[in-house]
Amino acid sequence: MPKEEFVNDWFRKRKERKSHLIAEEIYPSLIRGDRTALSSAITLVESTLQNDQSESKELIKKCLKSQNKSWRIGITGVPGVGKSTFIEAFGRIFLEKGLKLAVLAIDPSSNITGGSILGDKTRMEWLSQQKNAFIRPTATGKSLGGVARNTNEAIILCEAAGFDVILIETVGVGQSETLVHSMVDFFLLLMLAGAGDELQGIKRGIMEMADAIVITKADRGNEKMAEMAKVQYKNALHLFPVKESDWIPQVKTCSSIEELGITEIGEMIESFFIKTITSGWLNENRKNQEVNRLKEILDNSILFEFYKSEQIKTIFDFYKKEVSNGHLIAYQAVEDILNEIKKGKFNFL
Amino acid sequence: MPKEEFVNDWFRKRKERKSHLIAEEIYPSLIRGDRTALSSAITLVESTLQNDQSESKELIKKCLKSQNKSWRIGITGVPGVGKSTFIEAFGRIFLEKGLKLAVLAIDPSSNITGGSILGDKTRMEWLSQQKNAFIRPTATGKSLGGVARNTNEAIILCEAAGFDVILIETVGVGQSETLVHSMVDFFLLLMLAGAGDELQGIKRGIMEMADAIVITKADRGNEKMAEMAKVQYKNALHLFPVKESDWIPQVKTCSSIEELGITEIGEMIESFFIKTITSGWLNENRKNQEVNRLKEILDNSILFEFYKSEQIKTIFDFYKKEVSNGHLIAYQAVEDILNEIKKGKFNFL
């Protein structure tokens, strides 16, 4: 069969499939931990095709029945801090214990390429060859909040596939840190030991979210500078309010290349999970994260539906002009808009 | 008439008044620049009584006809930086030129006292005795976004009363800076010259908003430290993107007590206004500020109306439980909620 004909045939067959078929096909292999099935499953939830979406919904529902027992760890840091090298070294300690590790990379800025899968495999060469490791960038969805949704669902799929540790890595800088923080149990901030201005590069809000700061590239000959930075960050962390988890954020140094300090970071994270699982915080926090997400997504959806209406567009544009021309102030314009909507018995959904 | 009777009588009379009476009474004195009228007008717009609100609306509409020709300057800085002393010294240069100066203080944290009017008068002793100066804290409104609305309307009233310069001072620390920035033309950040950690105290986002950083308490004997801080902040400001106004943020030092550097700050601000009025940015920015405010308030109002509905409360609570129990993820719950609303032909206003 010539290639073009094959492709058309494949698409036709795909279209003809019943709604639950793919989900039902993938699920058994997925829960056995098959990496190809996991990969297809993530592709499925990332798809924007109508058919795929209903299948994806079925699949996620099935997967939710499997317990969330993984450790969800967020890793962030400015470009150049050595995230990939750190993840290679850090990931190894879990694999050596016989655990299964998934690395999900978020890059909201890569709208065009849709994630650099090949790039990722090269970045973490050793890890990508291990049978108990799974590396996957999250493609940026086309819909509102696409990246967030895709990553969130990818976490559930990885857990259903039996992955014990899930690292969520932010590749971009900026808003994605808050997003990642809302999805993980432990938030790790990688920092470089620099001269003087260390605190400038990273926003205070991001430092405040951190459960640990790890100073990378504390290679031989560089230990002194790293130690100095450690003291500085420790002092800075003292200024933040106590965390709800009762966990006291720690500062560590490491050399990913020389494999120094990596074991200590692993032990620290283990003690975090022991502490928060025992106290019940971990479970409580995951519930809260999901409820907060519900409110946030609902808010966005409501506003999206509202402004989508042609009726509202007309009214809003009129008042925008009024306000822009200084005939009304914003507060009064809003009152008038609400009154107009009430009069018109506007049905926004 | 005994006191109680008098009070009851006053309230009764007040209730009986026609809707436009007060606005019509206040307006003529207000535009003549009468400070008592201005004070009553601000009390009126801050009032939450139904009658007062419709009068307040009338009054604001009348005032909007008078041109916005004042300079709106935001002043912020951590407690202890010397804001009041600075405003006393800084305000004097405008008064000496024969200009009229209003100082509006925002303190979103003072929910209980509703602003410290007496406190303010003592804080700026000299200024409060000048006939061309008007000092007023904004009472925190009880409604959603109350402080923002009150301050916004107070600015319009001050401009109608012919005030040439309006200083908006944040007394609290935190969110109010962004609020103030959205209302002013020029944003001034006061900083202390400290040892080493200067950049920690204030969020990067606030520094990014600043049109000028003024290092206070550069008193005799303290000049060296102030100069060092100046260099440091200058370097820090270089890292931020160029402003839309094309204005290059400046760093100045001053001693409010010894009146050193104050004139230079006045000259800097004058050159800012000359530049941005000429380029048209000032006018454009005010329009944009008002349109942004419209969108922001409308968003909040829509969501407020939405969640207020009993129907929605029931649906939302149900799905909150589902999500909290792990039966559904947030994304799916939102889809289901939207479907339920569509089915029920929900009328939210």
The 3-class SS string of chain B reads: CCHHHHHHHHHHHHHHCCCCHHHHHHHHHHHCCCHHHHHHHHHHHHCCCHHHHHHHHHHHHHHHCCCCCCEEEEEECCCCCCHHHHHHHHHHHHHHCCCCEEEEEECCCCCCCCCCHHHHHHHCHHHHCCCCEEEEEECCCCCCCHHHHHHHHHHHHHHHCCCCEEEEEECCCCCHHHHHHCCCCEEEEEEECCCCCCCCCCCHHHHHHCCEEEEECCCCCCHHHHHHHHHHHHHHHHCCCCCCCCCCCEEEECECCCCECHHHHHHHHHHHHHHHHHHCHHHHHHHHHHHHHHHHHHHHHHHHHHHHCHHHHHHHHHHHHHHHCCCCCHHHHHHHHHHHHHHCCCCCC
Of the listed ranges A106-115, A156-165, B191-200, B282-291, the least confidently predicted one is A106-115
A338/B326 CB distance under 8 A: no
**CA A237 from centroid of its chain's CA atoms:** 24
B334/A290 CB distance under 8 A: no
Q: State yes or no: pLDDT of B196 exceeds 70.
A: no
pLDDT value for B345: 59
pLDDT value for A277: 95
Mean pLDDT of B230-254: 90
pLDDT value for A225: 87
Contacts of B347 in chain A (CB under 8 A): 345-347
pLDDT value for B22: 81
pLDDT value for B9: 62
- Token output for B269: 């601000």
Residue A255 gets which letter from DSSP?
B
pLDDT band at A206 (very low <50, low <70, confident <90, very high): confident
Condensed to tens digits (0 to 9), the pLDDT of residues B209-218 reads 999 999 998 8
pLDDT band at A229 (very low <50, low <70, confident <90, very high): confident
pLDDT value for A69: 84
- Most confidently modeled of A52-56, A307-311, B104-108, B269-273? B269-273
Condensed to tens digits (0 to 9), the pLDDT of residues B271-282 reads 999 999 999 999
Q: Does residue A253 sit in helix, strand or coil?
A: strand
Give me the residues of B, 193-212, that contact A with CB < 8 A: 197, 199-200, 203-205
Output the average pLDDT for chain A. Answer: 83
Condensed to tens digits (0 to 9), the pLDDT of residues A85-114 reads 999 999 999 999 999 999 998 865 544 333
Q: Does residue A186 sit in helix, strand or coil?
A: strand
Contacts of B236 in chain A (CB under 8 A): 197, 200
Condensed to tens digits (0 to 9), the pLDDT of residues A263-286 reads 999 999 999 999 999 999 999 999
Q: How far apart are the C-alpha atoms of A313 and A337, rounded to whole Å?
A: 11
Give me the residues of A, 285-304, that contact B with CB < 8 A: 287, 290-291, 293-294, 296-299, 301-303
Between B7 and A124, the higher pLDDT residue: A124
Q: Is A60 on the interface with B (CB under 8 A)?
A: yes
Q: State yes or no: pLDDT of B310 exceeds 60.
A: yes
Condensed to tens digits (0 to 9), the pLDDT of residues A168-194 reads 998 655 667 888 899 999 999 998 886
Packing angle of the helix pair B310-324, B330-343 (nearest 10 deg): 150
pLDDT value for A113: 39
Q: How far apart are the C-alpha atoms of B207 and B211, rounded to whole Å?
A: 9
Q: Residue B102 in contact with residue B162, Cβ under 8 Å?
A: no
Residues 6 or more apart whose Cβ sits within 8 Å of residue B59: B22, B23, B26, B27, B30, B41, B44, B45, B157
- Token output for A301: 């959806």
Q: State yes or no: pLDDT of B333 exceeds 90.
A: yes
Q: How far apart are the C-alpha atoms of B260 and B221, rounded to whole Å?
A: 13
pLDDT value for A112: 36
pLDDT value for B144: 40
* Closest by CA position to B166, among listed B135, B138, B139: B135
Condensed to tens digits (0 to 9), the pLDDT of residues A294-323 reads 998 899 889 988 898 888 999 999 999 999
Of the listed ranges A8-17, A329-338, B230-239, B260-269, the least confidently predicted one is A8-17
Q: How far apart are the C-alpha atoms of A168 and A181, rounded to whole Å?
A: 9
Q: Is A144 on the interface with B (CB under 8 A)?
A: no
pLDDT band at A115 (very low <50, low <70, confident <90, very high): very low
Condensed to tens digits (0 to 9), the pLDDT of residues B111-169 reads 433 334 444 556 788 998 999 999 988 765 544 456 778 888 999 999 999 999 999 99
Of the listed ranges A220-229, A310-319, B336-345, the least confidently predicted one is B336-345
Distances (CA, A) of B106 to A105, A260, B18, B115: 43, 51, 32, 8
Instruction: Lay out the sheet containing B186-192: strands in order across.
Output: B133-138, B101-106, B165-170, B71-76, B186-192, B212-216, B250-253
Q: Is A5 exposed, middle or buried (0-12, 13-18, 19+ CB in 10 A)?
A: exposed
A328/B57 CB distance under 8 A: no
Mean pLDDT of A25-52: 89
Residues 6 or more apart whose Cβ sits within 8 Å of residue A295: none
Q: State yes or no: pLDDT of A120 exceeds 90.
A: no
Distances (CA, A) of B241 to A137, A166, B129, B237, B329: 30, 36, 42, 9, 39
* Closest by CA position to A103, among listed A140, A78, A71: A71
Q: State yes or no: pLDDT of A29 exceeds 50.
A: yes
Output the average pLDDT for chain B. Answer: 83
**Closest chain A CA to residue B145:** A331
Which of B153, B297, B319 is opposite residue A334, by nearest beta carbon?
A: B297
pLDDT band at A148 (very low <50, low <70, confident <90, very high): confident
Q: Residue B104's beta-bridge partner residues?
A: B136, B168
| φ, ψ (nearest 5 deg) of residue B82 | 95, 45
Of the listed ranges A132-141, A208-217, B75-84, B321-330, the least confidently predicted one is A132-141
pLDDT value for B33: 93
Report all structural domains of chain A as residue ranges with CATH numbers, in order of start. 1-65 (1.20.5), 67-292 (3.40.50.300), 309-343 (no CATH)
Q: Is B248 on the interface with A (CB under 8 A)?
A: no
Instruction: Lay out the sheet containing A71-76: strands in order across.
Output: A133-138, A101-106, A165-170, A71-76, A186-192, A212-216, A250-253
Q: How far apart are the C-alpha atoms of A89 and B185, rounded to whole Å?
A: 51
Condensed to tens digits (0 to 9), the pLDDT of residues B89-101 reads 999 999 999 999 9
Residue A187 gets which letter from DSSP?
E
**Closest chain A CA to residue B344:** A349
Q: Does residue A189 sit in helix, strand or coil?
A: strand
pLDDT value for A139: 61
Q: State yes or no: pLDDT of A221 exceeds 80.
A: yes
* Closest by CA position to A157, among listed A267, A279, A82, A70: A70
pLDDT value for B347: 62
A303/B301 CB distance under 8 A: no
* Closest by CA position to B130, among listed B86, B160, B176, B99: B99
Q: State yes or no: pLDDT of A213 exceeds 90.
A: yes
* Closest by CA position to B282, among listed B245, B243, B242: B245
Residues 6 or more apart whose Cβ sits within 8 Å of residue B149: A331, B141, B143
**Roughly how many angstroms between the first and final C-alpha of chain A, as a whole number?**
48
Residues 6 or more apart whose Cβ sits within 8 Å of residue B213: B188, B189, B190, B191, B207, B233, B237, B249, B250, B251, B252
Q: Is B60 on the interface with A (CB under 8 A)?
A: yes
pLDDT band at A140 (very low <50, low <70, confident <90, very high): low
Distances (CA, A) of B144 to A65, A136, B140, B148: 41, 43, 10, 9
Contacts of B182 in chain A (CB under 8 A): none
Q: State yes or no: pLDDT of B302 exceeds 60.
A: yes
pLDDT value for A286: 94
**CA A198 from centroid of its chain's CA atoms:** 25
Which of B60, B153, B287 is opposite residue A324, by nearest beta carbon?
A: B287
Q: Is B308 on the interface with A (CB under 8 A)?
A: no
Mean pLDDT of B165-188: 85
B294/A323 CB distance under 8 A: yes
Q: Does residue A169 sit in helix, strand or coil?
A: strand
Q: Is B95 on the interface with A (CB under 8 A)?
A: no
ipTM (interface predicted TM): 0.75
Mean pLDDT of A221-239: 87
A319/B294 CB distance under 8 A: yes
Q: Is A342 on the interface with B (CB under 8 A)?
A: yes
In single-letter form, the type of residue at position A92 comes to R
pLDDT value for A80: 79
In single-letter form, the type of residue at position A65 comes to K
Q: Residue A185 in contact with residue A280, Cβ under 8 Å?
A: no
Q: State yes or no: pLDDT of A142 exceeds 80.
A: no
* Closest by CA position to A256, among listed A129, A120, A123, A90: A90
Distance (Å) from the C-alpha of residue A126 to the closest C-alpha of chain B?
A: 34
Q: Residue A169's beta-bridge partner residues?
A: A75, A105
Mean pLDDT of A127-135: 93
Chain B contact probe: residue of A204, A286, A302 with most B CBs at under 10 A:
A302
Q: Is B78 on the interface with A (CB under 8 A)?
A: no
Mean pLDDT of B309-325: 92
Mean pLDDT of A68-72: 87
Condensed to tens digits (0 to 9), the pLDDT of residues B20-36 reads 458 888 999 999 999 99
Q: How far apart are the C-alpha atoms of B215 and B255, rounded to whole Å?
A: 9
pLDDT value for B197: 45
pLDDT value for B223: 86
